[in-house]
Structure 1
């Protein structure tokens, strides 16, 4: 069986950041519905088209193809005194709601001179990254999955 539109594909991957260091790795397969446009970067999905189980690709994604450019408007600095103590350390995650009612996740990225900086950009924003992807399994999508354009049942 080969990867074509309407197939459920299970894969493992390693994601490397702009410095070539491993940012994320999974040996536990993740699954997506091929051709749905959901759950996978378009360039990776296109590269997987036609592969069989065991096939692999190594794809470079520019910021525009991947996690986007770093947006300075999503970085904020304030006096540390205005921040609750539980968030006063680098790496702390803060969730807030924007004007549209959407939840936005901020990460404390710096503390210096009595100021604390948070950033809502994806950690890989602005970086060219590499995905090494290996196909673990392929199956036909169920009629319901095809109708909904998303997975509704496990791979096996």
Structure 2
């Protein structure tokens, strides 16, 4: 009998996030994402719910309204600044900048545009205002071990080290 995704099953999958309007792949996870279902939510609750009851080898598509997930786009979080006022290490599109307000709250901003005189940073989630489709390929479904359930995913073991042996240094 084929295992299906349910609580305490170890699952590995790949996924893409595709802009529904343009068909552009916005994010792609090529290396298997592994987790224990019902123990930790590695994706949005809507996607996790759609995975329930699915089997290894299946590919599913889950439409997501990112406004519901991240809230509507807030143009007050888009800041254009003179490039001289921005440290050199932040002057590259795609760079994340962690900023803090006067109350000590932090928020991540992303450099989205740059020219010779200005730089634009955006504190909105990059998916804000978009309709996207999560396309997920289920690579593996099996019973999770007790250690995997405890840790919420695969438990990697390092190399065994024999601490009783002394190696001379030359």
TM-score bracket, shorter-length normalisation: 0.7 to 0.9
- The SS at the match of 1:138 is strand
How many residue pairs match? The answer is 152
Name the stretch that deviates more: 129-138 or 86-95.
86-95
SS in 1 for 2:84: helix
1:140 CA drift (Å) = 1.9
C-alpha distance 26-152 of structure 1, shift in aligned 2 (>3 A):
closer
1:147 Cα deviation after fit:
4.3
Distance of 1:152 and 1:53 partners within structure 2 = 17
Q: Cα gap change, 1:118/1:62 in structure 2, threshold over 3 Å: closer, same or farther?
A: same
Matching of residue 11 in structure 1 with residue 21 in structure 2: no
Q: Which residue of 2 aligns with 1:124?
A: 127
Structure 2: which 5+ residue stretches go unaligned? 157-170
- Counterparts in 2 of 1:69-148, with a 5 A limit? 69-98=72-101, 99-100=103-104, 102=106, 104-111=107-114, 114-147=117-150
Q: 1:127 Cα shift?
A: 0.7
TM-score, normalization by structure 2: 0.74
1:36-59 Cα shifts (integer Å, max 9, x gaps):
352111111111111111012111
With over 3 angstroms needed to count, the CA separation of the structure-2 counterparts of 1:14 and 1:151, relative to structure 1, is same
What 5-or-longer segments of structure 1 have no aligned partner? none
CA contact (8 A) 1:74 1:120 kept: yes
Hey, what does 2:168 align to over in structure 1? Answer: none
| Matched-pair contact (CA < 8 Å) for 1:43–1:65 | no
Please report the RMSD computed on the Cα atoms of aligned residues, expressed in angstroms. 2.6
1:94, distance to aligned residue in structure 2 (A): 2.5
Normalising by the residue count of structure 1, what TM-score does the alignment of the two structures yield?
Answer: 0.79
